[in-house]
Copies of this chain bind each other. A is one copy, B any other.
Amino acid sequence: MNIGDVSRQSGVPPKTIRYYEEIGLIRPNRSENGYRAFTENHVHKLAFLGRARALGFTIEDCRTLLALYEDENRESMQVKAVAEEHLRQIEEKIEKLQSMRTTLTDLVEKCAGDHRPDCPILADLSPVQLSE
């Protein structure tokens, strides 16, 4: 199978597939003409990677997960540990973003958004408090 077919079947762009080969996530053979030669198994791995990436796992996480996926002697606690750590980080990010949102929503509400220069958003960002 050529890279185009694999891309269509796995949903992973050709460029990304080449990149994944470069960093050693997959190791396709080569045809005589120099084209990458993929198998069904590669399609599965790429789909796996696509899904894992969509869930926000880093490439290094993916590497680990892929290894566990292929390891018949894995212990599910290993997988769970990776997922839990990732989940923690996602929750951290959510909290950070929510805190930003709270502040920004507040500032946006306060700002008149008209033709005058006075702006509570800039006032909030500015370290110099306008005195009265």
A15 at the interface (CB under 8 A from B): no
For chain A, what secondary structure do more than half of its interface residues adopt (helix, strand, loop), or is it mixed? helix
Which chain B residues lie closer than 8 Å to A122 at the CB level?
A: 65, 68-69, 79
B125 with A69: CB separation less than 8 A: yes
0 or 1 for each of A83-126: is its CB under 8 Å from B? (1 = yes): 11011001101100110110111011001111111110110111
Q: Output the nearest chain B residue to A62 by Cβ-Cβ distance.
A: B125
Q: List 19 A-B contacts (CB under 8 A).
A: A48-B127, A51-B124, A52-B125, A55-B125, A56-B100, A68-B119, A69-B126, A74-B119, A75-B114, A76-B116, A77-B112, A77-B113, A80-B113, A80-B119, A81-B113, A90-B101, A91-B101, A94-B98, A97-B97
Chain A residues proximal to chain B, CB less than 8 Å: 43-44, 47-48, 51-52, 55-56, 65, 68-69, 71-77, 79-81, 83-84, 86-87, 90-91, 93-94, 97-98, 100-101, 103-105, 107-108, 111-119, 121-122, 124-128
